[in-house]
Amino acid sequence: MKFADLGLSDELLQAVEAAGYDEPTPIQAQAIPSVLMMRDIIGIAQTGTGKTAGFVLPMIDILAHGRRRALMPRSLILEPTRELAAQVAENFEKYGKNSDLKMALLIGGVQMGEQIKALSEGVDVLIATPGRLMDLFERGKILLTGCNLLVIDEADRMLDMGFIPDIENICTKLPAQRQTLLFSATMPPPIEKLADKFLSNPKKVEVARPATANVNIAQHKVAVSPRQKRAKLRHLLETDDVRTAIVFCNRKTTVRELNKSLKQSGFATGEIHGDMEQPARIAELDRFKNGEINILVASDVAARGLDIKGVSHVFNYDTPWHPDDYVHRIGRTGRAGASGRAFTFVTEADAEAIANVEKLTGMAIPAFVEGKAAEPDDTPEEAEATPRPAKSRTSRASAGKSASRSRKPAPAPEKEDKPASPKARPQPGSQAPADDEWNGPVPGFLHVSAL
């Protein structure tokens, strides 16, 4: 199937072709015709499947006819984080370059002045995080009564970040008769309840079993004591043919401390977490994409949607508290058909967390054996690539079992943009756009722009 078979306009097909794409991904092939027919959609797809273009492309054609009005956006896309919102905005700029649509980006961490100015001039597409949107709504700077198309993206991540009440509140302020598209990697009961409440006779599009990991990723768990973690990470970075890697930590303080430690050991590293200002985050991501650094230490702010080409390794320095985050973290590698490697450090205190991950993914993550590549039995049967074996080197002996400690309740994930008190560009070819593709630095706010 070709994009030309999906019913998109000639102008849009020209933009897609100029971006180097010809064939849609499965979710694009299934979702785009239904969106163009004004159907509500529930899209279930793991990261990297191209779902962003699955709603961006038909939205451009749907919104091609209509009139902008001040303070009343014609469509709304809700994203859980600033980074994902910025990437969706870049998709609109890339594919909508032959249209006359205007877009605004509402995210926290930047001044409101330019955002309010953009809304006052009228926009066709509003891309927002829930917190900043509600903040401006409560200030009387935006009206949602003219919004006839709503996209709720990364719904399960919204749930993890505590945004579901905000989303429900936003939905009540939109017209009752509207088109709603909901996309999620998993469908836990609260998301199903949300869909039942706010979607009308939706078509369900599912291209992968929920909570499955990319079969091109060789997964390993590494038993360590808390004191062994840094030494083990340094050892693997030196011996496992690491070209580029993202190292995920559960806490922002751990991100800062680990980045400092790795720099002192001579590694070219950077960091990204929720306490950083938006321009600083973008600068670090840009350094990582252009090769100035090859290791990025990150919190779960970077776990979803960031499509940085060529990441060879993902390290879960901390076993994720929420099993869904495991799938999204390791999904930063093994993209676009490439193979990747993922290591998860597991301490005695992580026994419950790793068990929940294995229950969700439906597989026992094989224990890492130094110098031994994953055998066929170590990875899912449908794996398409044999991972690269680690370079042979004697691992450090364990200093003994770590002292047993009671497990603290897992704190909530980093929350962004709650309201105040009142990579390289994909190469031309036949493959469809990668999910949430971000090809370059995007400023903290995108002014209203002709797409």
Query: Where are the chain's structural domains?
Result: 3-210+422-450, 217-378
On the question of a common fold for 3-210+422-450 and 217-378, the answer reads yes
> Which residue bears the tokens 């066709």?
124
For domain 217-378, which CATH number applies: 3.30.160.270, 3.40.50.300, 3.90.1150.10, 2.160.10.10? Answer: 3.40.50.300
CATH 3.40.190.10 given to domain 3-210+422-450:
no
For residue 374, give the nearest of 218, 235, 212, 215 by alpha carbon. Answer: 218
pTM, to two decimals: 0.63
Report whether 74 contacts 146 (CB < 8 A).
yes
CA distance linking residue 428 with residue 185, whole number of Å: 27
Distance (Å, rounded) from C-alpha 102 to C-alpha 451?
6
CB atoms within 10 A of CB 352: 12
Q: What is the pLDDT along the chain (451 residues), one digit of tens a residue?
A: 899 999 999 999 999 999 888 899 899 999 999 999 999 999 998 766 788 999 999 999 999 988 999 999 999 999 998 888 988 998 999 999 999 999 999 998 788 898 999 999 999 999 999 999 999 999 999 999 999 999 999 998 898 889 999 999 999 999 999 999 999 988 889 999 999 999 999 999 988 655 556 678 999 999 999 999 999 999 999 999 999 999 999 999 999 999 999 999 999 999 998 888 878 888 998 899 899 999 999 998 776 656 677 899 999 999 999 887 898 889 888 876 678 999 999 999 999 999 999 988 888 999 998 765 443 333 333 333 333 333 333 333 333 333 333 334 444 444 444 444 333 333 334 444 444 333 333 333 333 333 4
Most distant CA pair in the chain: distance in Å? 69
